[in-house]
Amino acid sequence: MRRALAGSIALSLGAGPLGVFLMLRRMSLVGDAMAHAILPGAATAYLLTGLSLGWMTVGGLAAGLAVALLAGAVARTTALEEDASLAAFYLLSLALGVTLVSVRGSSIDLLHVLFGSVLALDDATLLLLAGISSVTVLALAVLFRPLVMESVDPGFLRSVSRMGGPTHLAFLGLVVLNLVAGFHALGTLLAVGIMMLPAIAARFWAKDLTALIGIATGIGIGSSVAGLLLSYHAGLPSGPAIILTAGGAYAASLLFGTERGWLTRLLPRRHLEA
């Protein structure tokens, strides 16, 4: 339980800010697509080398980046939009990954790949999660200004700087890196949950970007603690319990959030207040 908590907190620290930027850039579903895209690479490494942390990480990163680059190339060279090309590639990746694990592995292997095993984290995996979280925080600190500009007005950033393209690629790389980290703990189907649900819930409590990042990270950490406690006392699987708790935070924010939550919108407002 202590290892699971440490790993979940590390994931929240890195994935929470990325989820906020994905939401602001209207790329929320891109995270889900990329989470599925890493599956064939990780599954291939798993079948060839077993539970090798390094090779599964390399395989997941290679597959995720390949899908992102291929989807972008198709969108730029054909009439297909980027979201449609990404959907096609991620569906093929998911089907290929599940097929590989099903043909060469067992049903237990498939469940481990799809849903993870946060209670089975070892020292090497914890160090990997902590390292990825640290790299993400440092990279976001360096890229913060161009990333904010690229999220709000990419045309303006292109007119005053050449940082638009490199910033976008670096951001996608960080997203893939954190999804690979989440894959080791929560599996490919749930990894994006710790990234997006806290960020979406935070939107009902703040407008300022700094506040959004802080609240999203706090919700992610709180969901990790509450989800693990729920799984321990109720006998539920730990990974899904963490994501369900984050979903509960989203539902509560939707109802009671101070930024246009459903119930707060019914309260009387000051004269001329929007």
Question: CA 156, CA 247: separation in Å to the nearest integer?
Answer: 36
Q: Phi, psi (5° rounding) for residue 91?
A: -65, -40
Instruction: Render pLDDT for 253-274 as a digit per residue (tens, 0 to 9).
Output: 999 998 888 887 777 666 555 5
- Domain assignment of residue 205, yes or no: no
- Domain assignment of residue 242, yes or no: no
DSSP structural state of residue 28: H
Question: CA 14, CA 194: separation in Å to the nearest integer?
Answer: 10
Q: Hey, how many other C-beta atoms are within 10 angstroms of the C-beta on 175?
A: 25
Q: What percent of the chain has pLDDT over 70?
A: 93
Instruction: Render pLDDT for 160-178 as a digit per residue (tens, 0 to 9).
Output: 777 777 888 888 889 988 9
Overall pTM > 0.75: yes
- Domain assignment of residue 61, yes or no: yes
- Domain assignment of residue 258, yes or no: no
The count of structural domains within the chain is 1
CATH assignment of the domain containing 100: 1.10.3470.10
- Domain assignment of residue 272, yes or no: no
- Domain assignment of residue 245, yes or no: no
Which residues form the domain of 127?
2-190
Residue 164 tokens read as: 């638009």
Helix axes 53-77, 164-190, angle to 10 degrees: 120
Place of tokens 């939401």: 23
Contacts of 46 (CB under 8 A, 6+ apart): 52, 56, 59, 101, 105, 109, 113
7 close to 129: Cβ distance less than 8 angstroms? yes
Looking at the predicted structure, is the pLDDT value of residue 199 above 70?
yes
- Domain assignment of residue 110, yes or no: yes
- Domain assignment of residue 264, yes or no: no
Looking at the predicted structure, is the pLDDT value of residue 195 above 60?
yes
Half-sphere exposure of 21 (CA within 13 A, CB side): 23
